[in-house]
Structure 1
Amino acid sequence: MGICATEVLEDVQGRVDPRAIPIQQVGIRAVRHPLQFADRDGSVQPSVALCNMYVSLPAHLKGTHMSRFMEILNMHDAPISVEGFRAIVEEMCKRLEADSARLEMQLPFFVQKKAPVSGVKSMLDYEVELVGEVTPQGYQLTVGVMVPVTSLCPCSKSISEYGAHNQRAHVWVHVRSQESIWVRDLIDLVEGEASCELFGLLKRPDEKYVTEYAYDHPKFVEDMVRDVALRLQEDDRVQWFSVSSENFESIHNHSAYAKIEMEK
C-alpha cells in the first residue's frame, strides 16, 4: 500500500532518548563532493573534497538528521574559500539545531609554476585541509597544507667528495588565526625555507639549477621545521601553528621526521 501525500511520517530521530547521554560528535564521514575553491589571487579552480561533518547532539534527543548534512553541502554551490568557510559551519549548527558543529575538508590544490631557467610552465599539486568548528565559545578555523619540497643532507655534503644525497620531503603546516591566511601564503613560506622547491616539469638547464641550488641550501629535517616555525612566529596573524616534515630518505628504507607545535 502506498503512502498518501498528506500522511505525516514520524520523525524517529526526534524521539526523547531515555539514556540521557549527550554526544559530542555525530554526523557523516568520507563524503566526496565536487566544489570550486578560491584562493589568494581570486582565481577559482574545480576540485573534489573529502568531507567529514559533525554536530553535537543533546542528551534528550535520539538522533540527528543525517540527510541535512548532504543538503547543506549541495546548497553551497558558490566557490569555497578560507574566508567563506565559516558560513557553511554556522549553517550546520542552524539546520541541525546544534550547539556545536565541525566541518573537515581535504582537497587537492594545484599551482601553475614556471621552471627557474627555461620558464616552462607546469602544474604542481598540494594537499589542503580546512577544519572549521563552531562552539558556544565562538568560531575557529584551522588551515593546513602539505607542501612537497627537496631536502639535501648537510652531513652528506660535509663528508662526501662527490656531492650529497637528497630526498623529497612532505612538509605539513597547520595554522589558526583571527585573520585570513591563504593557502598560497603557506605554500610560499614553506618553499622559501626548503633546500629547493619542486616543479612539475624541468628542462636540462632547470635541472642543473635546482640541483645546484639544493646543494647550496642543505637542511636536516630539524632545520626545516625550525626555519618554518621561525617564519610563523614572525607572522602576527598566526595564533597557533604546527609544522612537521617527513623526509623520504634516499639512502635508507625509512623516513626522517620532525614536528613543532606552538601557541603564540
Structure 2
Amino acid sequence: MKELKDTQNERDDRQLPIDRVGVKGLRFPVEVRDKDESVQRTIATVALAVDLPEHYKGTHMSRFVEALNAHGSCLDVRSMAGLPRELLERLDAGKAHVEFEFPFFRSKAAPVTGKPGLLDYEVRFEVEASKGGGLDFVVTVMVPVATLCPCSKEISDRGAHNQRGIVTYSVRSREPIWIEDLIELVERSASCELYSLLKRPDEKAVTERAYDNPVFVEDLVRNVASRSNSHDDITWYRVEAENFESIHNHQAYAVIEKHVEKPAS
C-alpha cells in the first residue's frame, strides 16, 4: 500500500499549544459495579482528549477511538481509569483527559406502601493523567430533589410553594466512594427525595415530609457541604444546586466549592 502523507505531524508555526484536543460525543457500553455487588450495564457518552504541543499541526483522532475499542465491547470502571495513560502513550502527549457520562438506575421503595420503582440519575467520571504524575479522578452525580421554600411557608396562611431541583455534586476522595452513597448524601440534604412510583399514602408522606423540612437553595448547598466536610474520605467537592421555581419564570441557583483538609491516616 502506498504510504499516505501524515498531515497531523506537520509543523505549525503559530506558537500556540492546545490544552485539550480529541473526540467527544462517542457512545460506548460500560459496566458499573453498584453497592449491592451486582453489575449494572449502561451506555456512556464519552469524551477523550490530550494536550497538543505548539509545534504539531494536529493530533491523530483515530487513535482515540482505537484506544477505546481496544478494551472490547464493554469497559468497566477499573479499565476506564487506565485509559488516559494509554492515550499518553498512543499520542505521545503530556496530559490526557477521559470523561464518561452515563445514566445510573436505582430501585427505590415508596416510603409507605413500599412499592418499588426505578429512578435514574446522571453520573460522570472524569480521569486525568500526566506523564510522570498520578491520576486525578473526579466523580459527579446529578441528583433530582424536592425543595420547599421556607419564606413561602412562613408568610402563607395555607401551604407553601415547592419545586423540583437538580444538585450537581462532584468529589475527589482518598478512597473510592459508592455512587449510591453520594446520591444519598445529597438526598438527605433536601426537603425530600424523589421517587418514580407513589401511591396516595406515599404522596401524602412525601408532601408532609417536604413541608416539615423547608430549605432554600442556599440551605441545600450548605447541607451538602457540611456533610462533605464531615466525610472521612472526601478531599475536595463542588456542589451546585438549581431549583426550577414553581412561582417564578427563572431558576434559583447556589454553589460551594472547597478543598477539605484531612488528617493523615
Normalising to structure 2: TM-score of the pair?
A: 0.90
For structure 2, which runs of at least 5 residues remain unmatched after alignment? 261-265
Q: Where does residue 263 of structure 2 map in the other structure? A: none
Distance between the aligned counterparts of 1:125 and 1:10, measured in 2? Answer: 47
- Which of 133, 158, 161 is the equivalent residue of 1:162? 158
Residue 152 of structure 1: how far off its partner (Å): 0.8
Structure 1 residue aligned with 2:245, among 239, 249, 252? 249
Aligned to 2:76, the other structure's residue is in SS state coil
User: Partners of 1:143 and 1:208 in 2: how far apart?
Assistant: 34
Q: Deviations over 1:192-212 (max 9, x none)?
A: 111110000101111111111
- 1:163-205 deviation line (CA, Å, top 9, x unaligned): 2111101011011123212221210101111111000010111
Q: Write out aligned runs for 1:85-96 (5 A).
A: 85-96=80-91
Q: Which moved more, 1:50-59 or 1:192-201?
A: 50-59
Deviation at 1:71, TM superposition (A): 1.4
Contact 1:248 1:255 in 2 (8 A): yes
> How many aligned positions are there?
258
**Could you tell me how far 1:32 is from its partner in structure 2?**
2.2
Instruction: Say which SS state the counterpart of residue 193 (structure 1) adopts.
Output: coil
Q: Which runs of 5+ in 1 are unaligned?
A: none
Q: What pairs up with 1:117-136 in 2 under 5 angstroms?
A: 117-136=112-131
Match of 2:190 among 194, 219, 229: 194
Structure 1 residue 151, shift from structure 2 partner: 0.3
Report the aligned-residue RMSD. 1.8
1:220 to 1:163, Cα distance in 2 relative to 1, 3 A: same
TM-score if structure 1 supplies the norm length? 0.91
Match of 2:40 among 33, 38, 45: 45
Identical residues among aligned pairs (%): 52
Task: Answer yes or no: is the 8 Å Cα contact 2:148–2:162 preserved in 1.
Answer: yes
| 1:2-151 aligned within 5 A | 4=1, 7-19=2-14, 21-76=16-71, 77-81=73-77, 83-136=78-131, 137-151=133-147
- Check whether the contact 1:44–1:79 (CA below 8 A) recurs between aligned residues: no
Q: Distance in 2 between matches of 1:259 and 1:17?
A: 41
1:224 and 2:220 matched: yes
Look up the match of 2:148: 152
